[in-house]
Chains A and B, each alone.
Chain A
């Protein structure tokens, strides 16, 4: 059992799995669509990968550019402010008149629109002059700023940037203090409206949610589109993007993807402003930055969908175009297979399938042709076989007939022999008795007898002698018949010799006539002889030829007698026999004006045992034997022409030097031999 199982198991995989058993159209469509989808998919993936990289790079580049531009503008703004303040910070400025100082400040305000208010702190930190755009100028207010950062830090660092503060709620300001040059310097303090920075920053619009902001080097927010964040002095150093950009960290990368203030993923880039160590950040939510990519994905996917759809349509169409002719081909092949060779496959696709169909058609026609030829050949062979069978049957019949004839011959020979002896006695004693009658009359001659008596005796002896003559005559006739019988029963004793045709015909005619007369009393026929004296000799078997002639003649007599019996008025039964010299051949004609031979009979009359005579009158062998003797033994021919109720004429043609192959046909007959 295990063996069988282990043997059976490997056989299973060879069977086609069900999913592979799709129809051709399905396979084709699946392959087509699959291939197209695969190509589109690969294309899409490659496209998307490239697009992603490009979109990312582009987004980063754009952010970076924006950050740099913003940084540049902020820097330019600041450096202009610093520069403008710069010319009020010369070492000798302290010594110019207050009026001139005020004038310088007014000029400063005019030239630096962002500065709203400018003040001068003397080396002791006391405010000496304040000029404002909004308020009346203040001279020597003496306000003490000596401990304020704007004074101390400015002296320390030369320039001090204060925190961002707001005036009137919405105006971002920064105090910028610049220490004067020289020993014991004063400080110029300017209140700078940062709206320009805010303008710069808030004008950086990045899509829907992107924005820019500026922080100091420590992460303190300086500018942000949301002013309230700046107002709250927000420290953004904890924000990943800011932390990554702060000094002391790796700053080689000026962009990054991190979490923004609102917690969402963002793409941020930054640029520093070296003069003040500020950092400008430009950020955009990652989703928006990747929007082109999403568009690209949608585009790719929709193109892919479209492609697959078109591939499906085209695939189905092509598959149908391919499969329909194949189906027709299949149907056609099935019809051919089932033997219907007459139908042809009609496909007009103009491609290989049409060619294939044409090949099929060609094959079908060739098969049909061969089939028909084969039938013809079979028919021919069958006909040949039938003929052979007929021949065989004929030969067999002839053989049977020969056997019958042989025994008949023996019987006839026996009977003839037995009859001949008593017939000899009859003939001899009849002849002797006639002589004895003559002796008796001689004896009585000397004896006296009454004249009447003598007369009576003479008359009686004459009668006796007459009777005895008749006995002798008929006895000799009987003897002749028996002799002929013996001749007939005995075949040619193998000897062929030149025979006088006319004599042979005459002898046969006599024999036949006498035979006929003997068989039937009152038989009467007119015999016409038309012998050609030039008929001459022919080399043949005389006995056999006599048999043929006897046969033909007796048939002729039979036919005339038959017609006589009908009682036709004015009918004169006639049998004519003629011989003709035909050069190398001799012709013998036997013609009677008897009943004739119907067409139906003529075809079979040479068949053995075929007879039209009533049972007991004919053996059906006559013509068969004659045919064999003439055709086969002597190499001659026998033809028959007949018109029913008119005539029948047999024409025998014999070669004079014929029968080269002649040999005794009926060995049994010759063997029996004749005792006489």
Chain B
């Protein structure tokens, strides 16, 4: 009797461990996106995240995507929903999403993509050792302000005034993230620089109309949730008012913007996927350094240039990583 129960129990005991291990491996993570459901960019990034997780050896993990759009309230509601479900890690895209989620939890690891100044906003202690439950990947760096301006000046050497269209989320405590390099480069290049902080779609048109009236003016569209949401609108306005514009977000060069210089967000999300996978495997986000992109792509839309009557120099074309024709 005793022997029989022991033997009968053996398979159970032997299979018990793998079952437990499997249960542990089958985790659940969440992602909060600043796109409306069905948005092409959102789907691209989401699938990049999935691909990355699969590549990192987590093919069976359950990924819970939430689409909040640019609506802050909706984003906050989704964030609290997500936190309540207690996933193993949360991926946030852009600052507003990180702000919403990080305010709700100090336990669930958060991997962000695209927070402009994580140290300045206090999300992490230092980029090297974040020290808390938050780590991630920045997309843009302050010197890019100058880089964008230089690119615009090189493309349209006659330009005299460049306006930086900025988001309120892209700088801590009122200071604009890019203003220092933007201003200094403008001074170097002898261009008048102005910065406009916008968080309403309706406020964009008057600004661009004004630039159009001014003539020899250019526009730099800084990255941010607002820009993500209203990029197409801005592209249409610049086309209407024939304003050469440099976008930080690369896809708007494809969609009619003159140029874009910025990192590939797909790659950043892909790398963030690696961080999420490591965290799921047990790494501590406090010790994973915040990373910056290593590569920025320069895209020139020749079609737009022709529409605007701009002759793009061969040197500039040689610099371009991508040319849209």
Contacts and interface: CB of A to CB of B under 8 A. Distances in A.
Interface of A: 99, 102-103, 106-107, 110, 113-114, 116, 132-137, 166-171, 193, 195, 205, 208, 225-228, 231, 306, 310, 313
Nearest to A208: B282
Contacts of B315: 99, 102-103
A107 B321 CA distance: 10
B321 A171 contact: no
Given A103-B315, A136-B150, A208-B282, A227 B294 contact: no
B2 interface: yes
Contact of A168 (B3, B144, B292, B296): B292
A354 to B, nearest CB: 26
10 contacts: A99-B315, A132-B147, A134-B296, A137-B150, A169-B127, A170-B128, A170-B290, A170-B291, A171-B291, A226-B287
A136 B149 contact: yes
Contacts of A106: 318-319
A117 to B, nearest CB: 11
Contact of B129 (A116, A136, A195, A227): A227
Contacts of A169: 119, 126-128, 289-290
A164 B177 CA distance: 27
Interface of B: 2-3, 6, 119, 126-129, 141, 143-144, 146-147, 149-150, 181, 185, 188, 281-282, 287, 289-292, 294-296, 315, 318-319, 321
Contact of B294 (A103, A110, A193, A208): A193
A113 B315 CA distance: 20
A133 B128 contact: no
Given A103-B315, A136-B188, A170 B147 contact: no
Contacts of B188: 136
B291 A134 contact: no
Contacts of A166: 128
A136 B185 contact: yes
B294 A116 contact: yes
Given A102-B315, A103-B315, A228-B129, 13 more contacts: A99-B315, A103-B318, A113-B295, A132-B143, A133-B295, A135-B181, A136-B149, A136-B150, A167-B292, A170-B292, A226-B287, A227-B289, A310-B3
A227 B150 contact: no
B78 to A, nearest CB: 29
Contacts of B295: 113, 133
A133 B297 CA distance: 9
Nearest to B185: A136
B2 A136 contact: no
> Which label, helix, strand, loop or mixed, suits the secondary structure of the A interface?
mixed
Nearest to A107: B318
A113 B3 CA distance: 66
A310 B5 CA distance: 13
Contacts of B294: 113-114, 116, 133, 193, 195
A134 B144 contact: yes
B285 to A, nearest CB: 13
Contacts of A135: 143, 146-147, 181
B55 to A, nearest CB: 12
A168 B141 contact: yes
A170 B315 CA distance: 33
Nearest to B318: A103
A295 to B, nearest CB: 11
Contacts of B119: 169
A131 B151 CA distance: 13
Contacts of A195: 291, 294
Contacts of A231: 128
A113 B296 CA distance: 9
Most B Cβ at <10 Å: residue of A132, A167, A227: A227
B107 to A, nearest CB: 21
A460 B185 CA distance: 228
A420 to B, nearest CB: 119
B253 to A, nearest CB: 17
Contacts of B2: 313
Contacts of B282: 208
Contacts of A137: 150
B310 to A, nearest CB: 19
A313 B296 contact: no
A133 B296 contact: yes
B144 A170 contact: no
A58 B241 CA distance: 69
Contacts of B321: 110
A195 B2 CA distance: 60
A371 to B, nearest CB: 49
A136 B147 contact: yes
Given A133-B296, A195-B291, A228 B128 contact: yes
A107 B315 CA distance: 11
A228 B289 CA distance: 10
B192 to A, nearest CB: 17
Contacts of A114: 294
Contact of A134 (B129, B147, B281): B147
Contacts of B181: 135
A71 B310 CA distance: 49
A205 B296 CA distance: 29
A170 B3 contact: no
A227 B128 CA distance: 6
A497 to B, nearest CB: 108
Nearest to A167: B292
A350 to B, nearest CB: 22
List 9 tightest A-B contacts by C-beta distance, closest first.
Answer: A170-B127, A136-B150, A169-B127, A170-B289, A134-B143, A135-B143, A170-B128, A227-B128, A113-B295
A256 to B, nearest CB: 26
A168 B318 contact: no
B132 to A, nearest CB: 15
A196 to B, nearest CB: 8
Contacts of A168: 127, 141, 292
A12 to B, nearest CB: 44
Nearest to B144: A134
Nearest to B10: A306
A136 B127 contact: no
A171 B150 contact: no
B288 to A, nearest CB: 8
B134 to A, nearest CB: 13
Contacts of B3: 310, 313
Contacts of B127: 168-170
Most A Cβ at <10 Å: residue of B126, B146, B282, B292: B292
Contacts of B318: 103, 106-107
Contacts of A103: 315, 318-319
